[in-house]
Amino acid sequence: MRNDTVKRFGLLALATDLTIEGDAAQLMPPGTRLHVARLAFENPTTPETLRRTGPRLAAAADLVVPGVPLEAMIFGCTSAAAALGAEVEVALGSRAPVVTPLSAARRALAALGAGRIALMTPYLTETADLVAGWFAAEGVEVVSSLSLGHEDDREMARIDPAEVVAAACRADHPRAEAVFLSCTALPALGVIGEIEALLDKPVISSNQAAFWAALDLAGIPAAGPGTLFRIREGWRTW
């Protein structure tokens, strides 16, 4: 590995996620490589099934290019990160710095100077409540929340992008300083700019935030959609 100049990242994706790898291909810059392992998961996406992913994390991480140094290990499920809390860091932290969509969103909000969000999710209400509760525990005020009521993340991945735009606009609130589009399966990356133009405020998606944060941790400049990537040159944590 001594002559390896590639910056390598790990990703644990749910077995049923149809979106995250495609988004990663758009966000990971030249000179980086993403190594993916799939994590067994059974729909519906409820708090109970999400918590079942916890005992599977360490074994899945062991399958990501064993023995090869990684810049970060990304856990690719927003709602499971909310359900598992610190369990994700405990399971994965010995391998590389851990990034979840939620820890990444928190980092992004700090970079944007935003403390109040509108939350839009494709989930069932009980699953969306996990995400809202996670933000509240981190000191982020969720001033409004909208759930689309899907229970299967494969259905979430097939939501029409125009519906994502409309739902984000419905979720917005005058007091919200940013809008968070939760779920790595949600096809949101391509419409972030459109939503920002309509709402005149930053819009953060799970995948946008996760890869932005992982690259930021590694000190690697990158380009991507939305205000978050445009402010990156002025946001340095390394």
**Looking at residue 89, which CATH number applies to its domain?**
3.40.50.12500
Give residue 4's pLDDT.
81
Whether the link from the prior residue into 44 is cis, omega within 30° of 0, is: yes
- CA 100 to chain centroid, in Å, comes to 6
Q: For 231, what's the count of Cα atoms within 13 Å in the CB-facing half-sphere? A: 17
Give residue 83's pLDDT.
97
Closest CA to 78 of 154, 185, 165, 152: 185
Q: Tell me, yes or no, whether 73 and 124 share the same domain.
A: no
CA 204 – CA 125 distance, rounded (Å): 20
Q: Tell me, yes or no, whether 71 and 43 share the same domain.
A: yes
CA 146 – CA 3 distance, rounded (Å): 49
Give residue 159's pLDDT.
98
Q: Tell me, yes or no, whether 107 and 171 share the same domain.
A: yes
**Residue 231 falls inside a structural domain:** no
Residues in the chain: 238
Specify the pTM. 0.94
CA 53 – CA 133 distance, rounded (Å): 19
Residues 6+ apart with CB under 8 A from 211: 23, 24, 27, 28, 74, 222, 224
Q: In what order do the strands lie in the sheet with 7-14?
A: 32-39, 7-14, 72-76, 98-99
Q: Tell me, yes or no, whether 152 and 65 share the same domain.
A: no
**Residue 228 falls inside a structural domain:** no
**Residue 170 falls inside a structural domain:** yes
Q: Tell me, yes or no, whether 92 and 117 share the same domain.
A: no
CA 161 – CA 237 distance, rounded (Å): 33
Task: Please list the ranges in the chain whose pLDDT falls under 50.
Answer: 233-238
**Residue 92 falls inside a structural domain:** yes
171: containing domain: 103-206
Q: Tell me, yes or no, whether 35 and 97 share the same domain.
A: yes
CA 7 – CA 28 distance, rounded (Å): 10
**Residue 108 falls inside a structural domain:** yes
What is the total count of domains within the chain?
2
Closest CA to 113 of 178, 173, 195: 178
Q: Tell me, yes or no, whether 201 and 119 share the same domain.
A: yes
pLDDT in tens, 136-171: 999 999 999 999 999 999 999 999 999 999 999 999
**Residue 237 falls inside a structural domain:** no
Q: Tell me, yes or no, whether 76 and 148 share the same domain.
A: no
Give residue 231's pLDDT.
79
**Residue 89 falls inside a structural domain:** yes
Q: Tell me, yes or no, whether 109 and 122 share the same domain.
A: yes
CA 59 – CA 1 distance, rounded (Å): 23
CB 74 within 8 A of CB 100: yes
Closest CA to 182 of 77, 38, 108, 111: 77
Q: Tell me, yes or no, whether 92 and 28 share the same domain.
A: yes
**Residue 28 falls inside a structural domain:** yes
Q: Tell me, yes or no, whether 19 and 72 share the same domain.
A: yes
Residues 6+ apart with CB under 8 A from 144: 118, 119, 171, 172, 173, 176
Q: Tell me, yes or no, whether 202 and 212 share the same domain.
A: no
